[in-house]
Structure 1
């Protein structure tokens, strides 16, 4: 997993965080503070552009921070424990169960209800965000680490998926398709579901290839023999058989260059009435 670098923020007006994730991050930063004065000074440092480029890697955020003289900058670090594998498994399971969550991640968003659905706390709690700095201050956090923490909240406002990297997982791993099961992991099935479909060619290459010649039209009326269709949750087998039969009839009519039959559902708004 590679670390990511971000250029320094230019000096500007004090920013207010907008997102749930950025506000939660600042709550973790300020919740364990022993004194509010370094937090206020750190916020001013962040707004004045006293923080250098930020590097984010799993469990670690680092940057140099100065008090007005870049030649005398201090090295500040914020550490967060990565999430255990069991938590990531719950998050990926929650993603697989809700297509809306995956769509949000593809759009660069991090749904607030994702962590709640999986029972995983992505944001660090107060006391889990550990600041380090080579300055002589005894504050916890010092103004330099506080400035870094404020700018990380700005980054989370713009790119909330960075929280995944901070907690130990590249966001692209959440978007990757699940690993194909091995033969040993695949349960043995009997009956119609175990039969191969067509000639076994994967759909991608089949659609990408050049279309072949049409088969020779049948000499007589086409006879369609439907395979057994076992029941399945969410599938109306009767409707499916009707649609297959209508498709076969229309295909046969097109091959014979005759007018295709009009399906029953085209003449009635109530849909097919069965095979």
Structure 2
């Protein structure tokens, strides 16, 4: 499975995750922290642009993080326990049963109800996040690992399906065989149509013979008396009277318990 790389975030203002997935990711890894002080320091490093390019591979996130001196950057990694094969099979079954989930994954989204479906938690639990850093600090996590995790929440804001790769696989493993994913040369709309088992090729649809239209409805005998309709610009009074007669006659017949041509 090919790792994915992301360029370093530039320095900016204080920033917090904007989406449910980004916020949930922060709650998950912060639950492992023994002290809130490195979390706050890590947030400052993240906002200050002290985290280098991020590499995400199955079960592993890595970047070089520094305290202000780029020549003294630390190799920082966060390992996340991958899901087991049975978990992925259950997730794939849920996605295969819902075309809407397939469409979301094809668009790079991650439906919120997949956070914990079929007993499979996508977000890591206690003991499933292991920060590593070659800095001399002893905190768990250190501020460098915290900075990296903070920026991962920003990545999840833009690409929540990245969480699948963090947990061991990518979106391809959850999309049924034969359904294209973006970048494979087939548009997502066509892929969704195949996933649902519906749709007709355009050439076949245009080659079909169009059946004749049904006969126009006729007024019901003994219908109600219609009001006089004054002529007006761009109004075909005779056609309008005929349409009103049909509708009024059917309504009168239904009110009297009868059946009209439209109800047969």
Judge same fold: TM > 0.5, yes or no.
Answer: yes
Given that residues 95 and 175 in structure 2 are in contact (C-alpha distance below 8 angstroms), is that contact kept between their aligned partners in structure 1? Answer: no
Contact 1:27 1:126 in 2 (8 A): no
- Within-5 A mapping of 1:98-247: 98-177=98-177, 207=204
Give me the whole-angstrom Cα distance separating, in 1, the residues matched to 2:64 and 2:88: 31
Aligned to 2:50: 50
Q: Which residue of 1 aligns with 2:241?
A: none
Task: Report the Cα distance in structure 2 between the residues aligned to 1:269 and 1:172, rounded to whole angstroms.
Answer: 50
How large is the Cα RMSD of the aligned pairs?
A: 2.9
Any conservation in 1 of the 2:12–2:49 contact (CA below 8 Å)? Answer: yes
1:60 corresponding residue in structure 2: 60
Q: Which runs of 5+ in 2 are unaligned?
A: 180-199, 218-259
Runs of 4+ residues over 2 Å off in structure 1: 114-119, 172-179, 203-208, 260-265, 267-270
> Residue 42 of structure 1 contacts residue 146 of structure 1 at CA under 8 Å; is this kept in 2?
yes
In structure 1, runs of 5+ residues without a counterpart are 180-202, 215-246, 251-259
> Secondary structure of the equivalent of 1:63?
strand
Partner SS state of residue 63, structure 2: strand
Q: Is the partner of 1:34 in helix, strand or coil?
A: coil
TM-score, with normalisation over the residues of structure 2?
Answer: 0.69
Contact 1:31/1:127, CA 8 A, preserved across alignment: no
Deviating more after overlay: 11-20 vs 138-147: 11-20
Do residues 89 (structure 1) and 89 (structure 2) align?
A: yes
Q: Distance in 2 between matches of 1:54 and 1:127?
A: 23
Give the secondary-structure state (helix, strand or coil) at the position aligned to 1:152: helix
User: For residues 4-42 of structure 1, what are the alpha-carbon distances to aligned partners after superposition, in whole Å with 9 as ceiling and x for unaligned?
Assistant: 000000000111112221112111221111111111100
Q: Which residue is 1:243 aligned to?
A: none
Q: Is the 2:95–2:101 contact (alpha carbons within 8 Å) kept by the matching residues of 1?
A: yes
| Structure 2 contact 12–48 (Cα < 8 Å) conserved | yes
